[in-house]
Amino acid sequence: MAEVLESSYTFLKLWDLSRKFRNRNEPIELKTAPADFRFPTTNQTRHCFTRYIEFHRCLAAKGDNSGECEKFAKYYRSLCPGEWVERWNEQRGNGTFPGPL
């Protein structure tokens, strides 16, 4: 019985939340990185790595406050697992990152 009450409560919370978003009249736009024809296969590992490098090259060229680099950040964040990004950030900090930046 407790499981039924808990699932009903969860459903009501989600329904209320969705109602709030519907009443905002703002479209919710979900995006991921666009297709990149340099990586035609289903394995997106190189695509992820390349987008990460592109983002950091953009920051180096245009500065940390450049809004132009934000699209690259969105791309690599949608493609790359968080654990990889954390490891790459540590490697960049230690000067042991394997890629060209």
Instruction: Walk me through the domains of the chain, giving residue ranges and CATH numbers.
Output: 43-101 (1.10.10.140)
Classify the C-alpha dihedral 44-46-49-55 as positive or negative. negative
Q: Token pair for residue 10?
A: 């969860």
Q: Enter the pTM of the model.
A: 0.62
Alpha helical stretches, state H, the chain? 2-22, 45-62, 70-79, 82-94
Dump pLDDT digits (tens) for 24-47. Answer: 666 767 777 777 777 776 778 888
Residue with the bigger pLDDT between 37 and 71: it is 71
Model pLDDT, residue 5: 45
Burial of 85 (C-beta count, 10 Å sphere; 0-12/13-18/19+): middle
